[in-house]
Amino acid sequence: MTKMNGKLIQDFKNAWKNANAATIGFAVNIPPSQWEVKPFNPRFKSFAWEFACLSRTRMCYLKGLKTGQLTFSHQGDIPDKEVFERMTKREILDNLRRLSRDILKEIEKVKSENAGMVVWLLQHERVHQGKLILYLSEANFKLPKSFIMTWGESNFPK
């Protein structure tokens, strides 16, 4: 296994911290009473489903970073999305924060053979954020400041 370049590891860590801050920001800006709402009903999924997918996928990537084997199929040690979808907003936020800290620790140890997993994780997170921009905008909820700052305040007129 080849050790990763220190600057690249730091870049991965910074990118992850930034992506996680936006994901948490999106969740925080959704009122608990709207957690299970589908802003584009019947098209697309609910807020709860988006965060259930993010939670489960983070668990799969965390396991993949630890073992070198990434899989999204049913696994006994990783709950299915439906389990996460039934969680409260507070439970999901606590889970996302814990998973983020654990992922950050694994990024620090990542070998070059698994660097692609970090890139794929970041891509997955950003795809959901693209959907969440639409969802929150449709529901007239505030977008997270961390997301707006990252992508340029001039792109999001007040």
Determine the pLDDT at residue 123: 97
Determine the pLDDT at residue 99: 98
Domains of the chain, earliest start first? 6-30+46-151 (1.20.120.450)
Return the exposure string of 2-34: e unless at least 16 CB atoms fall within 10 Å of the residue's CB, then b: eebeeeebeebbebbebbbbbbbbbbebbeeeb
Determine the pLDDT at residue 144: 87
Determine the pLDDT at residue 153: 62
Q: In this structure, what DSSP letter does residue 111 have?
A: B
Output the tens digit of pLDDT for each of the chain's 158 residues.
Answer: 566 688 999 999 999 999 999 999 999 999 999 999 999 988 899 999 999 999 999 999 999 999 999 999 998 999 999 999 999 999 999 999 999 999 999 999 998 888 999 999 999 999 999 999 999 999 999 988 888 787 766 666 66
What H or E segment, with its residue span, contains residue 56?
helix 47-67
Determine the pLDDT at residue 5: 83
